[in-house]
């Protein structure tokens, strides 16, 4: 697999009116998702990216009965997320200016640093770059997290 998303396609079963594609972390499971459809394809957009083995099982509905049509295994992509390396996580910033550095994300081409009052917020400021570091000024110095 090449990323978090994949479109699976298959040929028609004679007499089938519906299909179900189940994707799981073990054979026959559907813990990673399933799609019921009358078409010959299904897209999954939140597959793991840790190099794990996943299993896909295709069921067809014909003559009032669901039957297994095919099974397959796939190795998921290995994508490393970017990790902030400095300043150290949890440290106290000495001034309103700091240079943030991070490791590259697999395939990453641009990055944004969001500074906010809550995790994931960008209510204080944001900064974008194509590099792996950025100097930011205007960080509050009032002792808040």
**Per-residue model confidence (pLDDT) at position 80:** 87
Length of the chain: 145
Cα distances (angstroms) measured from residue 65 to each of 15, 16, 22, 24, 43: 11, 9, 17, 22, 24
Give per-residue pLDDT as tens, 27-70: 999 999 999 999 999 999 999 999 999 999 999 999 999 999 99
**What are the b/e assignments for 97-129, b being 16+ CB within 10 Å?**
ebebebeeeeeeeebebebeeeeeeeeeeebee
Confidence band for 94, pLDDT divided at 50, 70 and 90? confident
- Residue 107 banded pLDDT, cuts 50, 70, 90: confident
Residue 19 CA to residue 68 CA, distance in Å, equals: 10
- Where do the H-state alpha helices sit in the chain? none
């Amino acid at each position: 697999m090449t990323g978090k998303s994949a479109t699976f396609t298959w040929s028609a079963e004679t007499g089938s009116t519906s299909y179900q594609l189940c994707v799981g972390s073990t054979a026959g499971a559907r813990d990673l998702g399933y799609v019921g459809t009358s078409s010959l394809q299904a897209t999954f957009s939140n597959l793991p990216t840790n190099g794990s083995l996943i299993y896909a099982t295709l069921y067809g509905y014909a003559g009032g009965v669901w039957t297994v049509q095919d099974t397959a295994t796939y190795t998921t992509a290995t994508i490393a997320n970017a990790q902030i390396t400095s300043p150290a996580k949890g440290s106290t910033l000495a001034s309103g200016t700091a240079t943030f550095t991070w490791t590259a994300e697999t395939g990453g081409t641009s990055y944004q640093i969001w500074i906010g009052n809550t995790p994931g917020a960008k209510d204080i400021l944001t900064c974008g770059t194509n590099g792996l570091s950025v100097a930011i000024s205007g960080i509050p110095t009032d002792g808040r997290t």
